[in-house]
Every structure is written in C-alpha cells, then in structure tokens.
Amino acid sequence: MSDSRSGSSAGAGTPAHTAAASPLVGEVSQDARRWSRLRHEWGKRLDPAEQSALMSWAAFTIVFAGLRILTHWIRGGHGPSGGGISLGGRHFHHYNIGIALLAAVGMVGLRGSEKQRRHPVVAIAYGSAAALVVDELALLLDLEDVYWASDGRKSVDAALGVIAAGATFFAGLPLWPHAHRALRSRR
C-alpha cells in the first residue's frame, strides 16, 4: 500500500519518486561507463594525428551534409527570403566563412604551440571550413553563381557525400571495432 499524501511507499519507506528514478539512474551510469570506455579506446587506438584526421573528416561530412540540407530547404521556399545571408544588400556566400576559417586554422598552424595545433577544435574547424568551401566549389571555379544551374548538381552532392562518409570511415578504421565493443559492453 502507498500513502498518496506522503508520496512514500508503505513497504519500502522511501519516497515514490525516488523509487521510480532508480532505474533511470542505473541507465545514466551505464551510459556514462560506455562513453568512458569509448574515450579510453579513442586514446588507445588512435594516435593524435589519427584523432585529428578522423575529427576533421567527420566535421567535413556533418557540415557538408548540413549545408546541402539547409540550401535545399531554403531553395524550397523556407527560411530567409533571398536565399541566405545578405550584407549591405549583397548575397554573402558561405565559402567566405570557410576561407576565413581556413585562414584562422593556418595561423594556428604557423604560430600556435604544439598543444594549440593538436587541439580538437583546430581539426574540427579545418574540416568544417573545407566543407564550406567545397560546397560552393562550382561558384569558385566558374566565377558565376551556378549553384542551382543544372540537375547534375544532385550527382555532385551524392558523390561528395559518399567521399566524405567514406573518408570518415577509413580515417577511423583503427577505432571502429573497439568503439563498437566499448558501447555494447554491459560492464
């Protein structure tokens, strides 16, 4: 029996909300152990250069896919009118952000300490910047806004997506089997 006024269970002598939360606490601690094991495998299986390569390719893949989804969404009539960011009445292409970010990464590479160069943010910034530039590569090559000019763009999107996902997979090859085991283990 339980007493609804006190919120406690007659048999256990503990508040009902505490008893209900116990399984959730167990799940959270199990998830924390899984992530801890994954972090351990990350450091054990990949040297710092491999970690940087994997983070960079993963960032490229995520940002490139996000840009494609966002631009198709804007092209479909959603989002800001005029199709994106405008500054002073002029359309501002996202490759400009990518170039600025690549310049910042280059400055860290040239003037930063070893610790700064190896920081995960640098690898992620590099991959993200590359995706911002590659996404508008046709514009940079033709010096015309040909972003939506032909149906061939779909095949370019698909090809670059496959390349990005494949490179992320191969960059992380030393880690994947161990990451899988670390996340599936119930210890």
Q: Is the pLDDT of residue 13 over 70?
A: no
Q: What confidence score (pLDDT) does residue 4 get?
A: 47
Mean pLDDT of the region 138-167: 68
Higher pLDDT, 50 or 6: 50
Higher pLDDT, 176 or 14: 176
Higher pLDDT, 3 or 51: 51
> What type of residue is 86?
S
Q: What confidence score (pLDDT) does residue 125 get?
A: 97
Q: Is the pLDDT of residue 145 over 70?
A: no
Task: Write down the domain spans for the chain.
Answer: 28-46+172-187, 56-171
Q: What confidence score (pLDDT) does residue 187 get?
A: 63
pTM across the whole model: 0.69
Positive or negative, the CA dihedral 13, 15, 20, 23 is negative
Q: CA–CA distance from 100 to each of 30, 85, 96, 109, 140 (Å)?
A: 42, 16, 6, 14, 15
Mean pLDDT of the region 48-60: 90
DSSP state of 47: -
Q: What confidence score (pLDDT) does residue 5 get?
A: 46
Q: Is the pLDDT of residue 177 over 90?
A: no
95/186 Cα distance (integer angstroms): 45
Mean pLDDT of the region 87-105: 88
Residue 28, φ and ψ in degrees, nearest 5: -65, -45
Q: Terminal CA-to-CA distance of the chain, rounded, Å?
A: 35
Q: Is the pLDDT of residue 2 over 70?
A: no
Q: What confidence score (pLDDT) does residue 149 get?
A: 62
Higher pLDDT, 127 or 74: 127
